[in-house]
Structure formats: structure tokens, C-alpha cells
Structure 1
Amino acid sequence: NSFRASVFFVCLSYGAQAAPFCCIWRDPQWSSSSRAHGKPELSHKRHTLSPEKAHYDEERMLEWIDEVWKPSVCGPRLLLLDSLKIYKMASVRNAFENECCTAAEFISPGITGLAQPMDVSVMRVFKSLCRNYYVNHHAVNDFAQGAPARRALITEIVINAWKAVRAKVIVRGFIKAGIVPYGPRDAEENFIVDPPEESEENNNNEVE
């Protein structure tokens, strides 16, 4: 329910995941963070915030950039985002470009199901995992009593489900969206197809 909780997800084309960033509605006293195993550059972390509504505003977006995205950056990056107004704010774009060496591009509304890797492949698997965790939890536990316990359960399910999404599912999303090339690779994930030979015409032009 977006009026109660929203989650910001980002993943990389080779399968790494950024920490899920959870936003919980109206809870000024309760917040927690937990770190679980993950790839070194993108460890999993839980952030639970408390705006008036569970959506991202400028403050939350800049906080996500500072706490989640910036520590993961180790070189120039291209970040594909949905066409939400918050992503296009000058302060957000400046933070990406000037502090994170990141160029932000936007996927046009109406085609995210075809061009957004998260929508193409990842979210279907993630939502299925969330349902499984929820059902399995309540098969042996009573419903959480009190708002803090319910919010803790929501974030715990999000973290566990996100960690359980396999790298190959993420990579498949980028391939199906047509964003990254694909083909036969070796054990180190390098392409094993030889580059095309230079034509004789190009060689002649170089001599001239």
C-alpha cells in the first residue's frame, strides 16, 4: 500500500543490488537499520523513514543519494529512472552529476514495461518472493501487534526478498530491455566472440 510504505530499488546491469530504501508512513519515533550480506560495493541496508505520506520527496531522494547511492559509486555511471518529477529536480540532478559522477536518464511514461529492467524482469520475481515470505511467516506466527511490529515486519520482508533476487534475474531484465549486449561469454563474463576484422577499405584510408 503506497499510502503506508514505499520502497526505492536500484540494481546494476551485472546483477549487483543497491540497498532497499524503505519509507514508512507517520512513525516519528521508530527507525532502524540493519546490514546483511551482499556484494561489497552494494551491501544491503534498511532505512525506515517517516514522512507525512509514504512517498519520496526532495529530502528523501537526496537522503537516498547520500546514504545508498554515493557510497556505491566507484566510477562514472548511467542511472535509468522513471519519469517522476522528483527525479528531475535540479537539486537531485546536481547531486547525481556533481557528487556521484552519475548521469541520469529517464524512461518515458507508458513504456516502462518494455524498457525498464526492473519492470521487465525483476519486480515480478521480487513480489512473488514477498508473498512467499509473508505467507510463510504467518503460517507459524500470529499477526504483528502494534504499528512498530508491523513496520518492522514489512521492512524485514522487503530486505529478505530483495536479497533473494538472483543476479541472473537482474541481468535478464537488462538484456530483455535491450540495454546491454548479450552473447557467449567465458567464465570471467568476457565476450568470447572475436571483434570484426577491419576492412581493406579502412586500412587503405589509414595509409592515405
Structure 2
Amino acid sequence: MNENLRIFFFGDSFVQGIGDPEFRGWVGRVLAETGRGITAFNLGIRRNTSDDVLRRCWTEIEPRLAPDADHRLVVSFGSNDAVEENGVVRVDPDRCLDNLATILDGARQRAIAPLIVGPPPVVDAGEPHLRRTTALAERMAALCDTHDVPFIATTTTLAEDPIWRAEVLAGDGAHPAGGGYRRLAEIVLADRWHDWIAQPRR
């Protein structure tokens, strides 16, 4: 692993770690298991959609770039895109996929290696939201495959996870506490994370 590794985490409240009394979320737990020598930036914002992430992504990254650093980008969105408001989803699935493709193209142009973490489920939003989020995650995975970018699926596993569900339902209906974020971190760490971190600098 490059000793000068900078990782930018972009996304929504799940990236930010809302609901965790330890203020670590899944990002902090993944970093704790990754090793030293990492400069990490948690740039998650509550209620952000893929539109929001695309709009702010490069303007927030560019001031944080460092000469000779190995820059990485972790993106996780989609749960808010799939929320229905006044009978319409916040972001159409096709536009969400276009946003993701634009981010991946921008990362390639800047020689920044990306990794995508699929959208977690929002338990309180019910089955229709879960179906939309699951379908969106499957399309995101297919898009990442065509771009040769690692995609880590979370939606179905967390929707069926008793710790995630119990903590979400005991909280605000969307966000878990420490145990749920630990489960999400375990999914990320078990699926391609270490290989991605170890890959040579672009």
C-alpha cells in the first residue's frame, strides 16, 4: 500500500455515519481495519442524492489533492435517489446511472481509482423503496462491471440482517447504531476492499 494514500468518501448520511453513538460509522470502522498511512476525508452529507454528489465531487476533491499522493475515491449513494416524494422518486434511475458514469469517467481522467459501495436499505421506507433500491443497485453493479470498477453490494444483505433491522427500527427508521454500521463495514472489508487498497497506483 502506498504510504501517501488519500481516500475521499462521498455520499449520504450512511457515509456520514448518522445514528452511530461512537461517531465512526462504517467509514471509520473500515479505516481502522485498513492500516496506517491513510489520509481520509469523510464527505458524506445527509439527504444527498447522486445529483448532489456529482455536483460537488470534484470541487471538494481538488483542494485536497497532494503531489505524489495515491488518490482514491469511494462513492455510495442511491438510497435517497429512490425515495418517493409526491409520487415521484427524487432522482430517476437512468439519471442516477448517468451521474455514476460521469463520476467514474471523471475519476479515470484524473487517475483516481474509484470503488462503489451499493446503497443500504431504508427499513422504514417499506418494500416499494427496497425494490427500487435493489433494482438500482443491480444496475449500478452492472455499470461498474463495464467500467472495470469494484462494486460492493449491500442492499439485500442489510435488509435481511437482524442487527441492522433492529437498530434501525429502534432509531429513526433509516439509520442504525454502532452494530449496524459494524455489519456494513464487515461487508465492505470482506468484499474486494483490501485488494482495491493494495492495487498499484494508477
TM-score, scaled to structure 1: 0.36
Q: Which has the higher helix share?
A: 2
Larger radius of gyration: 1
TM-score, scaled to structure 2: 0.37
